[in-house]
Amino acid sequence: MLNLLQKRRSIRRYADKMLKKEDLTAILQAGLLAPTSCNKQSWEFILVEDKETLAAFGNCREPKQAFLPQAAAAIVVLGDTAKSDAWVEDASIALAFMQLQAESLGIGSCWVQIRNRQSNQNMSANAYVSELLSIPSPYEVLAILSLGYPAEERPAYSLDELKYDKVHQEAFGKKMF
Protein backbone atom coordinates (compact mmCIF):
# COMPACT_ATOMS: atom_id res chain seq x y z
CA MET A 1 0.00 0.00 0.00
CA LEU A 2 2.76 2.47 0.93
CA ASN A 3 4.45 1.67 -2.37
CA LEU A 4 1.24 2.48 -4.28
CA LEU A 5 0.88 5.73 -2.33
CA GLN A 6 4.45 6.71 -3.20
CA LYS A 7 3.84 6.07 -6.91
CA ARG A 8 0.56 7.99 -7.17
CA ARG A 9 1.00 11.40 -8.77
CA SER A 10 -1.53 13.71 -10.38
CA ILE A 11 -1.46 12.95 -14.10
CA ARG A 12 -2.66 15.66 -16.50
CA ARG A 13 -1.54 14.23 -19.88
CA TYR A 14 -3.32 11.21 -21.27
CA ALA A 15 -2.89 8.73 -24.11
CA ASP A 16 -5.65 8.70 -26.72
CA LYS A 17 -6.87 5.27 -25.64
CA MET A 18 -10.14 4.15 -24.12
CA LEU A 19 -10.21 2.60 -20.67
CA LYS A 20 -11.40 -0.95 -20.18
CA LYS A 21 -14.95 -1.36 -18.93
CA GLU A 22 -13.83 -3.71 -16.15
CA ASP A 23 -11.25 -1.18 -14.96
CA LEU A 24 -13.86 1.59 -14.82
CA THR A 25 -16.11 -0.79 -12.90
CA ALA A 26 -13.31 -1.57 -10.42
CA ILE A 27 -12.65 2.17 -9.90
CA LEU A 28 -16.34 2.83 -9.22
CA GLN A 29 -16.47 -0.18 -6.90
CA ALA A 30 -13.57 1.35 -4.93
CA GLY A 31 -15.64 4.52 -4.47
CA LEU A 32 -18.68 2.52 -3.38
CA LEU A 33 -16.50 0.69 -0.81
CA ALA A 34 -15.42 3.92 0.90
CA PRO A 35 -16.48 4.54 4.49
CA THR A 36 -19.07 7.26 5.10
CA SER A 37 -20.33 9.15 8.13
CA CYS A 38 -23.11 7.14 9.84
CA ASN A 39 -22.90 4.86 6.80
CA LYS A 40 -25.18 7.33 5.00
CA GLN A 41 -23.40 6.90 1.66
CA SER A 42 -24.24 10.48 0.76
CA TRP A 43 -22.32 10.36 -2.52
CA GLU A 44 -23.29 9.80 -6.14
CA PHE A 45 -20.86 9.20 -9.00
CA ILE A 46 -21.40 10.12 -12.65
CA LEU A 47 -19.13 8.33 -15.11
CA VAL A 48 -18.55 10.44 -18.23
CA GLU A 49 -16.91 9.13 -21.40
CA ASP A 50 -18.76 11.30 -23.90
CA LYS A 51 -16.17 13.44 -25.76
CA GLU A 52 -18.45 16.48 -26.00
CA THR A 53 -19.10 16.46 -22.27
CA LEU A 54 -15.39 15.98 -21.53
CA ALA A 55 -14.66 18.94 -23.84
CA ALA A 56 -17.20 21.05 -21.96
CA PHE A 57 -15.53 20.12 -18.65
CA GLY A 58 -12.56 22.19 -19.85
CA ASN A 59 -14.58 25.31 -18.97
CA CYS A 60 -15.65 24.09 -15.55
CA ARG A 61 -13.02 26.26 -13.89
CA GLU A 62 -11.33 29.63 -14.11
CA PRO A 63 -8.60 29.23 -15.27
CA LYS A 64 -9.57 26.62 -17.87
CA GLN A 65 -8.62 23.03 -17.00
CA ALA A 66 -7.28 22.32 -20.48
CA PHE A 67 -6.29 18.74 -19.69
CA LEU A 68 -9.84 17.58 -18.89
CA PRO A 69 -10.98 17.31 -22.54
CA GLN A 70 -7.98 15.02 -23.19
CA ALA A 71 -9.02 12.53 -20.50
CA ALA A 72 -10.38 9.15 -21.57
CA ALA A 73 -13.07 9.40 -18.90
CA ALA A 74 -14.04 11.35 -15.84
CA ILE A 75 -15.98 10.57 -12.70
CA VAL A 76 -17.98 13.44 -11.28
CA VAL A 77 -18.29 13.06 -7.53
CA LEU A 78 -21.28 14.68 -5.88
CA GLY A 79 -22.87 14.64 -2.48
CA ASP A 80 -26.40 14.85 -1.15
CA THR A 81 -26.10 17.94 1.05
CA ALA A 82 -29.50 17.18 2.64
CA LYS A 83 -28.56 13.64 3.57
CA SER A 84 -25.36 14.27 5.49
CA ASP A 85 -23.53 17.25 6.97
CA ALA A 86 -20.38 15.22 6.28
CA TRP A 87 -21.03 14.92 2.53
CA VAL A 88 -17.73 16.67 1.73
CA GLU A 89 -15.78 14.14 3.78
CA ASP A 90 -17.78 11.20 2.39
CA ALA A 91 -17.21 12.34 -1.20
CA SER A 92 -13.52 13.15 -0.59
CA ILE A 93 -12.71 9.72 0.81
CA ALA A 94 -14.55 8.01 -2.06
CA LEU A 95 -12.64 10.11 -4.57
CA ALA A 96 -9.32 9.24 -2.93
CA PHE A 97 -10.21 5.53 -2.96
CA MET A 98 -11.04 5.74 -6.68
CA GLN A 99 -7.78 7.58 -7.35
CA LEU A 100 -5.82 4.82 -5.64
CA GLN A 101 -7.71 2.05 -7.45
CA ALA A 102 -6.95 3.84 -10.73
CA GLU A 103 -3.28 4.01 -9.81
CA SER A 104 -3.21 0.29 -9.04
CA LEU A 105 -4.51 -0.37 -12.56
CA GLY A 106 -1.88 1.85 -14.20
CA ILE A 107 -4.44 4.57 -14.90
CA GLY A 108 -3.48 8.19 -14.29
CA SER A 109 -5.89 10.59 -12.61
CA CYS A 110 -6.25 14.10 -11.31
CA TRP A 111 -8.65 15.69 -8.83
CA VAL A 112 -10.27 18.83 -10.30
CA GLN A 113 -11.87 20.87 -7.56
CA ILE A 114 -15.42 22.10 -8.22
CA ARG A 115 -16.76 22.95 -4.76
CA ASN A 116 -16.09 26.59 -3.83
CA ARG A 117 -14.60 27.34 -7.24
CA GLN A 118 -15.70 29.47 -10.23
CA SER A 119 -16.15 28.33 -13.82
CA ASN A 120 -14.96 30.50 -16.71
CA GLN A 121 -18.63 30.86 -17.79
CA ASN A 122 -19.77 33.52 -15.31
CA MET A 123 -21.20 31.04 -12.82
CA SER A 124 -19.93 28.84 -10.07
CA ALA A 125 -18.16 25.65 -11.09
CA ASN A 126 -20.90 23.69 -9.29
CA ALA A 127 -23.67 25.48 -11.26
CA TYR A 128 -21.81 24.89 -14.53
CA VAL A 129 -21.32 21.15 -13.99
CA SER A 130 -24.80 20.70 -12.50
CA GLU A 131 -26.41 22.33 -15.54
CA LEU A 132 -24.31 20.27 -17.93
CA LEU A 133 -25.20 16.95 -16.26
CA SER A 134 -28.77 17.72 -15.07
CA ILE A 135 -27.79 17.39 -11.43
CA PRO A 136 -30.73 18.44 -9.23
CA SER A 137 -30.63 20.29 -5.91
CA PRO A 138 -29.72 19.45 -3.11
CA TYR A 139 -26.81 17.58 -4.74
CA GLU A 140 -23.51 19.46 -4.96
CA VAL A 141 -20.44 18.60 -6.95
CA LEU A 142 -17.27 18.10 -4.95
CA ALA A 143 -14.84 17.43 -7.78
CA ILE A 144 -14.21 15.77 -11.09
CA LEU A 145 -11.73 12.89 -11.23
CA SER A 146 -10.10 12.79 -14.65
CA LEU A 147 -8.86 9.40 -15.84
CA GLY A 148 -6.64 8.10 -18.63
CA TYR A 149 -3.55 6.10 -19.44
CA PRO A 150 -0.59 8.35 -18.55
CA ALA A 151 1.20 10.20 -21.34
CA GLU A 152 3.62 11.73 -18.85
CA GLU A 153 5.92 10.25 -16.25
CA ARG A 154 6.15 11.80 -12.84
CA PRO A 155 8.62 10.66 -10.20
CA ALA A 156 7.39 8.63 -7.28
CA TYR A 157 7.71 10.18 -3.84
CA SER A 158 10.60 9.05 -1.71
CA LEU A 159 9.97 8.20 1.93
CA ASP A 160 13.11 10.20 2.77
CA GLU A 161 11.58 13.49 1.60
CA LEU A 162 8.31 13.36 3.56
CA LYS A 163 7.55 16.31 5.86
CA TYR A 164 8.07 14.37 9.07
CA ASP A 165 7.97 17.62 11.08
CA LYS A 166 4.20 17.67 10.49
CA VAL A 167 3.87 14.67 12.79
CA HIS A 168 3.54 15.36 16.49
CA GLN A 169 3.59 12.88 19.31
CA GLU A 170 1.19 13.04 22.26
CA ALA A 171 0.80 16.85 21.98
CA PHE A 172 1.27 19.56 19.37
CA GLY A 173 4.89 20.59 19.01
CA LYS A 174 6.36 17.39 20.37
CA LYS A 175 8.07 15.95 17.35
CA MET A 176 8.03 12.24 16.68
CA PHE A 177 10.75 12.13 14.03
- Closest CB to ligand FMN among residues 2, 171: 2
CB of 103 to ligand FMN, least distance (A): 10
Instruction: Please give the span between the terminal C-alpha atoms of the chain, in angstroms, as a whole number.
Output: 21
Q: What value, to the nearest 5°, has the Cα angle with vertex 72 and ends 50 and 69?
A: 70
Selected range binding ligand FMN among 4-12, 36-44, 78-86, 133-141, rule: CB under 6 A: 4-12
Q: Which stretch binds ligand FMN (CB under 6 A): 70-78, 107-115, 131-139, 166-174?
A: 107-115
Please, which residues have CB within 8 angstroms of residue 8's CB and are 6 or more apart in sequence?
99, 100, 103
Q: Using CB under 6 A, which residues numbered 110 to 149 contact ligand FMN? A: 110-113
60 touches ligand FMN (CB under 6 A): no
CB 48 within 8 A of CB 67: no
Pick from 10, 25, 116, 169 the residue near ligand FMN by CB under 6 A: 10
Edge-to-edge strand ranges of the sheet holding 73-80: 43-48, 73-80, 139-148, 108-113
Q: Which residues contact 162 (CB under 8 A, 6 or more apart)?
A: none
CB of 5 to ligand FMN, least distance (A): 10
CB of 131 to ligand FMN, least distance (A): 19
Q: Is 20 exposed, middle or buried (0-12, 13-18, 19+ CB in 10 A)?
A: exposed
Choose one: 7-15, 22-30, 43-51, 129-137; the region binding ligand FMN (CB under 6 A).
7-15
Nearer to ligand FMN, 77 or 112 (CB): 112
